[in-house]
């Protein structure tokens, strides 16, 4: 160290390898943003006209029309059925996939296959999968159940696999040391550690499916979404608002159930 | 009872944990394995029940060559070795009784294990063992509700309920305060003696090992450098086991 007073100012070293890079990159990012805004041709007049139309739609939607209860009820019931069945199938398929996709419990080649399945399940948005299944098995809830099942295998097994990888190895080792076979190790060493997560994920998955089932109906995969789409298409905005309100209720109910379930299993 | 010869293990990292370890335990006594960190104590225990796969060497327990077994036969050999861990390694979210009963997993079918239906005599034995370790009435507690000393007692019960031919004990007291450590160590040694089985105990705490051991194995860099009675544990011998690590390190001037 050289003699004299230590410096009275300190700045952490720059993240950029050269000092001029920071301003240049900032300027480029700003230019890109400006170009984006310009090419979208955001037209104030159109925004104003659109706002007027939103007012019109809103006025025609109030009060919500709960008159067609049979249609509403059937749609809601179908959505709940789609969500529940696809969660059940998704979890049943997702459990073994999660074990296969956990690096710490299976050999590398098996892990590669497991991860590939997970990645495949997560590649496409549920709307695209729904369109495929509607083409394959026709309009209706079956397409919805298949869509969301595929969708959940990716989601559920990815998150569960990560939980399995985070487990305490010592507990597993102790169960192995008793002479337990691999399935018994899963039952007594792995399952107790990941059970709260399985329950939490299942309820969360159901919650997500409930919301997704309202969307995939729009492309013909059954549920309340189809009813909602038809209501919009016929300009029945008051009925559409009723449907939206019911969807809010279902999602809130799902949230409450999920909170309760997670509280019980800790 | 237990014969270990030429046991060798090199980890994929190049770490030569064991370099030809040979010893025999031929009567029900507590044998304490001491040595500096990284001497291979943990690896030694885990190569005996093959939680870690040795590269070479032979382990024989009650005449059975454990190192040649695979699959079901290996698991049957494993259930004859009760293991007790430094971090207790209880399954935290299971009850005390479920943890103790998991010591019987090697004896029941997967179907019985799945339904949590252990044979009545196993359940009886588990309750008796729980009483022996001083945890009567704790069966419904969850493992994560217990103190360190209580957890290790459950760990001891889980090992004993296997009706093992030997106890493999890995630093059983390192996670405990000195008083609890002594009580737990006393319990392990006494229960092993009552059941007439030997215990192979890894221990870095030399005074505690001295207090309970009759025979000491000194491990240094994967080799046994001392095998004899505790009385033979002189300063010279300790230096052979611990090398420079045994002496306080002076800061260079």
pLDDT digits (tens, 9 = 90+) for B124-162: 999 999 999 999 999 999 999 999 999 999 999 999 999
**Mind listing the pLDDT tens digit for each residue in B80-96?**
999 999 999 999 999 99
- Please report whether residue B252 resides in a domain: no
Determine the Cα–Cα distance for residues B83 and B164; give it in Å rounded to an integer. Answer: 9
Q: Do B90 and A176 touch (CB under 8 A)?
A: no
- Asked if residue B77 lies in contact with residue B66, where contact means CB atoms within 8 angstroms, the answer is yes
Provide the ipTM: 0.88
- Closest residue on chain B to A184 (Cα): B110
B243 touches chain A (CB under 8 A): no
Q: Do B51 and A177 touch (CB under 8 A)?
A: yes
Q: Do A178 and B79 touch (CB under 8 A)?
A: yes
Token pair belonging to A87: 């969660």
- Please report whether residue B125 resides in a domain: yes
What is the domain-level CATH number for residue B139?
3.40.50.300
pLDDT band at B250 (very low <50, low <70, confident <90, very high): very low
A187 touches chain B (CB under 8 A): yes
On the question of pLDDT at B252 being above 60, the answer is no
Residue-level pLDDT at A261: 77
B105 touches chain A (CB under 8 A): yes
Q: Which of A173, A183, A189 sits opposite B51 (nearest CB)?
A: A173
| Angle, helices A237-264/A69-100, rounded to nearest 10 degrees | 40
Average pLDDT value for residue range B232-247: 79
Average pLDDT value for residue range A252-265: 79
Q: β-strand B166-170 against B56-61: which pairing, if any?
A: unpaired
Which residues of chain A make contact with B75, given a CB cutoff of 8 A?
A: 179-181
Please report, for residues A10, A22, A70, A79, B71, the alpha-carbon distance to residue A74 in angstroms, rounded to integers and kept in the order given: 67, 59, 6, 9, 55
For B64, the domain range is 2-245
For chain A positions 195-214, those within 8 Å of chain B (CB to CB) are: 195-196
On the question of pLDDT at A65 being above 90, the answer is no
Residue B41 DSSP class: H
Q: Do A184 and B113 touch (CB under 8 A)?
A: yes
Going from N- to C-terminal start, the domains of chain A cover 69-264
What pTM value is reported for the model?
A: 0.77
- Asked if residue A164 lies in contact with residue A186, where contact means CB atoms within 8 angstroms, the answer is no
Of the candidate CATH numbers 1.10.3720.10, 2.102.10.10, 2.60.40.10, 3.20.19.10, the domain formed by A69-264 belongs to 1.10.3720.10
Three-class SS state of B235: helix
Q: What is the mean pLDDT of chain B?
A: 90
Residue-level pLDDT at B197: 94
Q: Which of B85, B102, B162 sits opposite A188 (nearest CB)?
A: B102
Residue B37 DSSP class: T
**Mind listing the pLDDT tens digit for each residue in A20-46?**
888 899 999 999 999 988 888 778 888
Q: Which residues are within 8 A (CB) of B222 and not within 5 positions of it... i.e. 6 or more apart?
A: B9, B16, B17, B18, B19, B20, B21, B39, B40
Q: Do A181 and B103 touch (CB under 8 A)?
A: no
A192 touches chain B (CB under 8 A): yes
Peptide bond into A63 cis (omega under 30): yes
């Amino acid at each position: 160290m050289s003699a004299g007073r230590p410096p009275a100012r300190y700045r952490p070293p720059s993240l950029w390898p050269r000092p001029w890079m920071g301003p240049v990159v900032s300027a480029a990012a700003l230019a890109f943003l400006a170009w984006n805004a310009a090419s979208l041709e955001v037209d104030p007049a159109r925004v104003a006209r659109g706002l007027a139309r939103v007012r019109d739609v809103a006025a025609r939607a109030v009060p919500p029309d709960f008159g067609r209860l049979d249609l509403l009820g059937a749609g809601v019931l179908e959505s709940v059925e789609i969500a529940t069945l696809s969660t059940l199938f998704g979890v049943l398929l997702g459990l073994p996939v999660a074990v296969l996709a956990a690096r710490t419990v299976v050999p590398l080649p098996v892990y590669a296959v497991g991860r590939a399945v997970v990645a495949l399940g997560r590649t496409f948005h549920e709307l695209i999968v729904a369109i495929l299944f509607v083409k394959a098995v026709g309009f209706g809830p079956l397409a919805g159940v298949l869509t969301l099942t595929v969708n959940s295998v990716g989601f559920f097994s990815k998150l569960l696999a990560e939980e399995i990888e985070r487990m305490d190895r010592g507990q597993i080792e102790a169960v192995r040391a008793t002479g337990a076979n691999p399935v018994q190790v899963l039952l007594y060493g792995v399952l107790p550690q990941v059970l709260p997560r399985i329950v939490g994920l299942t309820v969360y998955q159901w919650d997500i499916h409930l919301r997704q089932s309202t969307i995939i109906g729009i492309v013909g995969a059954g549920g309340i979404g189809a009813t909602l789409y038809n209501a919009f298409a016929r300009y029945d905005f008051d009925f559409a608002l009723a449907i939206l309100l019911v969807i809010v209720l279902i999602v809130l109910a799902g949230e409450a159930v999920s909170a309760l379930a997670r509280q019980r299993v800790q | 009872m237990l014969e270990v010869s030429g046991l060798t293990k090199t980890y994929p990292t190049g770490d030569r944990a064991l370099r030809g370890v040979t010893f025999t335990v031929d009567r029900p006594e507590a044998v304490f394995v001491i040595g500096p960190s990284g001497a291979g104590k943990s690896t030694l225990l885990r190569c005996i029940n093959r939680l870690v796969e040795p590269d070479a060497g032979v382990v024989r327990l009650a005449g059975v060559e454990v190192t040649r077994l695979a699959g079901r036969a290996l698991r049957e050999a494993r259930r004859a070795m009760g293991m007790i861990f430094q971090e207790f390694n209880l399954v935290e979210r299971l009850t005390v009784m479920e943890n103790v009963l998991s010591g019987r997993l090697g004896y029941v079918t997967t179907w019985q294990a799945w339904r949590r239906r252990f044979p009545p005599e196993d359940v009886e034995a588990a309750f008796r063992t729980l009483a022996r370790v001083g945890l009567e009435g704790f069966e419904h507690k969850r493992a994560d509700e217990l103190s360190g000393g209580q957890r290790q007692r459950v760990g001891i019960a889980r090992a004993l309920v296997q009706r093992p031919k030997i106890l493999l004990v890995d630093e059983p007291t390192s996670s405990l305060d000195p008083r609890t450590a002594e009580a737990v160590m006393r319990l392990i040694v006494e229960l092993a003696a009552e059941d007439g089985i030997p215990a192979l105990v890894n221990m870095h705490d030399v005074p505690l090992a001295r207090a309970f051991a009759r025979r000491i194995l000194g491990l240094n860099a994967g080799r046994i450098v001392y095998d004899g009675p505790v009385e033979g544990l002189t300063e010279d011998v300790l230096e052979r086991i611990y090398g420079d690590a045994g002496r306080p390190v002076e800061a260079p001037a």
